[in-house]
Amino acid sequence: MNNQKNHSSANQEITQSVKRTYLKPRIESVEMRPTEALLGACKTSSSAGPASPSCSTLSCSSLGS
Amino acid sequence: MMPMNAASALAGPENPSSPTRTLCLGGLTIRLIGSGASAPLIEPISQRFLVDSEVTPTITLEVGEGDPAEFEKLASQKPFFDSGGTWKLYREDKTLVYAVTVPIFGDIPYRFLEVANDFSTGRLLINPKAGVPEHCLFPLAFPLDELLVANLLTLPGNEGVLLHACAVTDPDGNAYVFVGQSGDGKSTTARIWAAREGMTILTDERVIIRRHEDGFFVHGTPWHGDQLAAVPGRARISGIFILRKAPANSVTETRPSLASALLFARSFPPLHNPESLAATAAFLESLVTNVPCRELHFLPDSSVVDFVRGLYAA
């Protein structure tokens, strides 16, 4: 009985030693830019390449920064 | 760094007289079959990504002029998804149609990409009534090329993502991916690294990351930035860095959950498709679990090159 009690106590100590500090859940916001993510605007499509600069106006509604 | 496909690289692009062109982007092959004897026009930089037609294609597209009535019909329909930019998505029973409209050609789409729901075949058509100048007749030009690849990457078995990033390989065999939205310093980073001997800039604007049998690789794309870097090669990723301009160089360890969220915000997933979003989120979770992903606070000068390479010197 005593052995069982000691064993249980030891387990408890081990559990306590590895227990991590509680961190309250929190929300972190991450900025997403819809115009970029949707491929709605292009800075650099290959259509804006040097061989066909005028074609970029056909596919790009606006230029990125 | 190794060629995308060794056999293809050796064979080179197909016969110029053939009406077929095959592009290899991120290891995915897109076969374009022209109508009659005329081959589809490929933009100059994208021509670097042409491969031999012996390669089994991921998707095959018939390319040519469409029936103007098809374009007019699209314009009269309610889109399934409106990007708010130049393209809209229309959904039919067995196909998806990505239609591009620009003000210079009025309210009627001037080209569209129609693909089967499984993305195995499709049509890429230009509206003959739109009056597109001959030197601009690149059917797969932006945004259809990137939309197609972004979708293909999320299909089962393809395991990949299109990221807003530049990628560099160094002479030691390391490959670094620098991820950032517009203005975060991708072009600056590419310029700084390109000035050092032995560096290869795979691309300075968009990269494709995929999981292959032997790990996670970054692929160059034709979608370049100011530095016009567009190399058709791939390299095993040593580290991913989320760019943050700062007065001094440092790195911040980023929790995987936050890292995958930051990468998601810098990716181009098909936002209209729940399955594709789930596939992208799962892929990014796997990526940041297997590849170091940190925030790089950097001084925009050559000191950042030594700083980053120093992290891998040991």
The predicted model scores a pTM of 0.86
Residue A9: the pLDDT is 56
Q: Please write the tens of the pLDDT for every residue from B278-310.
A: 999 999 999 999 999 999 999 999 999 999 999
DSSP A21: P
**Structural contact between residues B228 and B248, judged by C-beta atoms closer than 8 angstroms:** no
Q: Which residue has the tokens 């360890």?
A: B253
Residue A49, min C-alpha distance to chain B (Å):
7
Beta bridge partner(s), residue B62: B33, B123
A64 contacts B223? CB cut-off 8 A = no
Q: Would the pLDDT of B6 be above 70?
A: no
Query: Which of B25, B161, B182 to mutate to probe the A interface, most A CBs <10 Å?
Result: B182
Give every CB contact of residue B38 below 8 A, 6+ residues apart in sequence.
B19
Instruction: Count CB neighbours of B182 within 10 A.
Output: 18
Indicate whether B187 pLDDT > 50: yes
**Would you place residue B113 in the very low, low, confident or very high pLDDT band (cuts 50, 70, 90)?**
very high
Q: Which of B23, B42, B43, B227 to mutate to test the interface with A (most CBs of A within 10 A)?
A: B43
- B122 versus A36: which is more confidently predicted? B122
ipTM value of the model? 0.78
Q: Is residue B194 pLDDT above 80, yes or no?
A: yes
Region at B12 (left for phi over 0; alpha for psi -120 to 50; beta for the rest): left
Which positions ≥6 away from B178 have C-beta within 8 Å?
B165, B166, B167, B168, B185, B186, B189, B241, B243, B296
CA distance A16 to chain B (A): 24
User: DSSP letter at B204?
Assistant: S
